Amino acid sequence: MNVSEWSPAQCLESEQPRNSCQRVLIAEDDAMFRKILQSWLQGWSYQVTVAEDGTKAWEILQQERPPELLILDWVMPGVDGTELCRRIRERQRGPYQYILLVTAKDDKQDVVRGLEAGADDYLTKPFDRSELRARLRVGRRILTLQDDLIQAREELRFQATHDVLTGIWNRGALLDLLQRELQRASRTQASTGVLMLDLDHFKNINDTHGHLTGDVVLKEVASRISRVVRSYDLVGRYGGRSF
């Protein structure tokens, strides 16, 4: 097997499941090109969905988990390639979709308009097999990068608001949340319950058994508190041994 190729197995084996990297939508009204694209892509282990016009393609894109690599023909009855691009880019939510626009060789102006409408790349007809394959790899690389970025951002977001040791809210987040709860309570004239818990003689544990054991105790305390409170209560670490 060609090492530079991704196979479904490799996708599943990678650290993060990247099922998205191989789902492709082909929107093409010409039966011949649809057949060629479908046949090649399936041969390269992509999961292929086909649409014979832009309207159908748009319907498919409304599904729960739509394909993330899109090959759109520029000229199609109903909704054409650029209009599709525009609609896709207008949606703010959901993962990024990589769009490869297919145009006829002589439509240079189309290329510019297509890219401006939100396409990531384009392919000219009659398209070349190895060129298509390479461009799809580029698309997959971008999508993978995007996945990594989102994951990194989520991790950072978590780290910024959570205590590294115990995984519960950190002091900053806790004070923000407390502020919000107090304001909400004052608006509805309700009372707010706040518990401040401090571990007595915690220094003894550190001194006798070492800091690592102290960490274990802190983690255990955090986990026990989290277990006993209601799901909508907020638990955080206020300071060294205060919760």
- Binding region for another protein (CB under 8 A) out of 24-32, 172-180, 186-194, 233-241: 24-32
What is the rounded CA–CA span in Å between residue 152 and residue 94?
17
Phi/psi of residue 165, nearest 5 degrees: -75, -50
Cβ 11 to another protein shortest distance, Å: 23
- Using CA atoms, how far residue 188 sits from 15, 176, 179, 185, 193, in Å, is 47, 19, 14, 5, 14
Contact 57, 51 (CB under 8 A): yes
Touching another protein, residues 128-157 (CB under 8 A): 128-129
> Rule CB under 8 A: is residue 31 a binding residue for another protein?
yes
Measured from the CB of residue 84, what is the shortest distance to another protein in angstroms?
A: 18
CA–chain centroid gap for 130, Å, is: 29
Pairing of strands 23-27, 47-51: parallel
Pairing type for strands 98-104 and 69-73 reads parallel
**Nearest one of 225, 127, 231 to 242, comparing CA atoms:** 225
Question: In this complex, which beta carbon is closest to another protein, that of residue 126 or of residue 193?
Answer: 126
Q: Considering the complex, what minimum distance in angstroms separates the CB of residue 53 from another protein?
A: 13
Interface with another protein: number of residues (CB under 8 A): 17
Residue 33 interacts with another protein (CB under 8 A): yes or no: yes
Task: Note whether 91 binds another protein by CB under 8 A.
Answer: no
Is residue 83 part of the contact set for another protein (CB under 8 A)?
A: no
Of 32 and 195, nearer to another protein (C-beta) is 32
Q: Cβ 105 to another protein, closest distance in Å?
A: 8
Which positions lie near another protein, rule CB under 8 A? 30-33, 35-36, 39-40, 43, 75, 104-106, 125-126, 128-129
